[in-house]
Amino acid sequence: MSRPAAFVAITYAFAVVMMGTTMPTPVYSLYQAEFGFSVLVVTVIYAAYAIGVLTALLAFGRWSDSLGRRPMLLAGIAFGVVSALVFVFAGSLTELLIGRVLSGLSAGIFVGTATVTLVEMVPDKWRAHAPAIATAANIGGLGLGPLVAGLLVQYLPQPLHLTFVVDIALLLVAAVAVVLAPETVRVAAGARPHMQRLSIPAPIRGTFLRAVIGGFAGFAVLGLFTAVSPGFMSGVLGIDDHAVSGTVVFLMFASSAAAQIVLRGLGTSFALRAGCVVLVAGVAALCASLLLASLPLLIVSAVVCGIGQGITFSKGMAAVTAELPADRRAEVTSTFFVVLYIAISVPVIGAGEAANAWGLVTAGVVFSVAVAVLAAIAFVLLQIESRTSRQEPNESDIA
């Protein structure tokens, strides 16, 4: 396979694998009706995905350096296929949880390996666009999952099964694409994989804290939309159209991807503060949509929250890695992702428990206020840091 063709093939595989991890989103409300699950159980099923991602990041995060990119990409696809098979035949909560954990393993293995592979494989004429293409494949794939699955569930038969059969077919094509693509790593004889350790060097702990608080808020909202919004639309808005619920989730991911690509030239400090403000505005719109039972406001909140999440994530990562030597980036980046995937799972389970006790609307409002407070704290810390950094040169000049 030529280099441009291989780059396109890996981009396709990246998008399809990530797409498979979010395809269950429109199906959650069907599981709720089929098995009598509460909102809490649905959020636990969703959050099981994060366990798989975190396990893969820590256990397999650097294996592709030792074993090669292609074997790890195929392993990620294999976990995705097995996950989809589990969903096809799932008849209990345990099986659904297993399917989600396997899906998380697929994503956790693939996201780091595929990103590096695209950077290594990109043709020279596309090199400047490689980060944007990787972002589009990753976040765009995550957004396409609910959109495609929503259409399949709404308009075609066998809604609990067809989505995952389609996922398997797309993944098998991705496996062929990976097999045909060249290996980009020369594996040394006797090389052994090792666990990824976590650490935050003392000089960047302040930067890490400021960046991760905003990122935590953004990922918490991302988790809420992905896990709970279909149930909110059917239970509160009375909208049982799965294509519509999938489209709302897609809009959030699409907005996140667009923000990361279009706004990548913004200064990191300014962008982080702006991202926090946008997040506060987004959750305010979410809160209003819950109280007014308004679909248009829910759509607005999805777009605005997506923009805020995309900015706080991408610029937070940039702020953290900019101050690091190359040999420390992997461990600090992994630490950053661990916090973010805790954010995408644990708060959502809390929201599910609150929904059981107080109802979806009250739980959603409380969740929105908590996220707004987090984003506001991040903004204040970033503002203080910005003023301090501006004053330091002046003080040295006076001295």
Do 156 and 44 lie in one domain? The reply is: yes
170 CB neighbour count, 10 Å cutoff: 20
Q: Which of 121, 156, 183 is the last residue of a domain?
A: 183
pLDDT of residue 399: 42
Q: Which of 155, 183, 211 is the last residue of a domain?
A: 183
Do 151 and 35 lie in one domain? The reply is: yes
In this structure, the chain runs to a length of 399
Assess if residue 283 is contained within a domain. Answer: yes
Residue 110 to residue 61: CA distance in whole angstroms = 9
pLDDT of residue 326: 64
Distances (CA, A) of 190 to 62, 68, 69, 74: 16, 13, 16, 21
The per-residue pLDDT of the chain, averaged, comes to 88
Mean pLDDT of 204-227: 91
Do 306 and 201 lie in one domain? The reply is: yes
Total domains present in the chain:
2
Summarised one tens digit per residue, pLDDT across range 27-71 is: 988 888 888 888 899 999 999 999 999 999 888 877 877 788 899
Domain holding 26, by residue range, is 1-183
Do 112 and 164 lie in one domain? The reply is: yes
Do 244 and 173 lie in one domain? The reply is: no
Residue 372: which CATH number?
1.20.1250.20
Do 285 and 155 lie in one domain? The reply is: no
Do 71 and 143 lie in one domain? The reply is: yes
Assess if residue 189 is contained within a domain. Answer: no
Do 305 and 168 lie in one domain? The reply is: no
Summarised one tens digit per residue, pLDDT across range 192-215 is: 777 777 788 888 888 899 999 999
Mean pLDDT of 98-126: 89
pLDDT of residue 396: 43
Assess if residue 339 is contained within a domain. Answer: yes
Do 165 and 212 lie in one domain? The reply is: no
Do 203 and 178 lie in one domain? The reply is: no
Assess if residue 321 is contained within a domain. Answer: yes
Instruction: Using alpha carbons, select from 379, 331, 353 the residue that is nearest to residue 217.
Output: 379
Summarised one tens digit per residue, pLDDT across range 345-393 is: 889 999 889 988 888 899 999 999 999 999 999 999 999 988 887 766 5
**What predicted TM-score, i.e. pTM, was given to this entire model?**
0.89
Place of tokens 């959050």: 47
Q: What are 145's two structure tokens?
A: 């999952």
Residue 44 to residue 242: CA distance in whole angstroms = 21
pLDDT of residue 308: 95
Assess if residue 230 is contained within a domain. Answer: yes
